[in-house]
Amino acid sequence: MREGATTIQGKCRGVQYLGQIWGIMAKAHHIVFANEKGGTGKSTTAVHVAIALASRGARVACIDLDSRQRTLYRYLENRRDTMTRRKITLPMPVFEVFEHDSQATLERQVERLGAENDFLVFDTPGRDDPYARFVATRANTLVTPINDSFVDFDLIGQVDAENFKVRKLSFYAELIWDARKERAKADGVTIDWVVVRNRLHNMEAHNQQRMTDALNELSKRVGFRSVPGLNERVIYRELFPSGLTLIDKGHLGQLATAHIVARQELRELVTGLALPEVGQLALA
Ligand SMILES: Nc1ncnc2c1ncn2[C@@H]1O[C@H](COP(=O)(O)OP(=O)(O)O)[C@@H](O)[C@H]1O
Ligand SMILES: [Mg+2]
């Protein structure tokens, strides 16, 4: 399924083989997309990051924990159907839904997919959910997309009505803060918490600056990084039925030339996440 992946996969297998000789287990890097609010771009960024990694030759598996909406799963299902309909091959992650049965089932699913892949990408529902919390505590990279709005910011912290200074951390920020401390104590891993600003808009320079200031202030208190994400673009909604992304250059028709900038912003998002190179994973 994963076309164009031969070189890096080949290298990766080599590293795994060396890992076996040295007794080192290959470990998948867990990227968890989470916040407790719907409509902030979790599924959209998750699917784009997963496909971007697969297109670079990484072995990627996605687990959709939002078993009701299944946006990530549906996107990739549409992509698989497009491959069949058009008789083409595209970079393609493995994708499954977690059906919310038990933590033991989830752990088995994670273990099975983790053994065969370089990255596990988790999409979670936009509400407090015990399984979303569970995967968040096991993340290597925890991505929280927020729209550039103080309504979404409220999820991480509250700002003063007069001067926009941060007044208070939210319950969610406290939760992640505690999870990171626990995780560092348990196995020495520091969860890299990245707040991704989604649906950025050129017309909103003033609001953007206020958000930048508030995020900078808050990031020092809670220990996340903030990176620019995807701009507001209709294309991110239009491509859903075909499951295509801006990366699928040869298959987009006229869209291909109109969206060079968008492709670049997607690349920058993946760079901003600072994920390990595939070859490093086995030794991580
Ligand atoms: N950068 C963007 N530009 C335009 N529309 C977007 C963008 N990001 C998300 N959307 C749209 O916003 C809605 C919510 O996004 P989604 O990824 O489903 O959020 P979540 O998973 O957090 O609920 C969807 O209709 C999606 O297509
Ligand atoms: Mg979603």
Ligand 1 and 199: CB distance under 6 A: yes
pLDDT at 239 exceeding the cut of 80: yes
What is the 12 CA–ligand 1 centroid distance (Å)? 33
Residue-level pLDDT at 111: 97
> Does ligand 1 lie within 6 Å of residue 232's CB atom?
yes
Closest C-alpha among 163, 144, 171 to residue 226: 144
> Do 190 and 184 form a contact (C-beta atoms < 8 A)?
yes
CATH superfamily of 6-281: P-loop containing nucleotide triphosphate hydrolases (3.40.50.300)
CB atoms near residue 52 (< 10 Å): 23
Helix (H, G, I), strand (E, B) or coil at 42: helix
pLDDT tens digit string along 120-147?
999 999 999 999 999 999 999 999 999 9
Task: State if pTM tops 0.85.
Answer: yes
Where do the structural domains in the chain lie, given as residue ranges? Answer: 6-281
23-37, 112-126, 170-184, 187-201: the lowest-pLDDT one: 23-37
**Predicted local confidence at residue 21, as pLDDT:** 35
Evaluate if residue 210 carries a pLDDT over 60.
yes
pLDDT digits (tens, 9 = 90+) for 31-72: 999 998 899 999 999 999 999 999 999 999 999 999 999 999
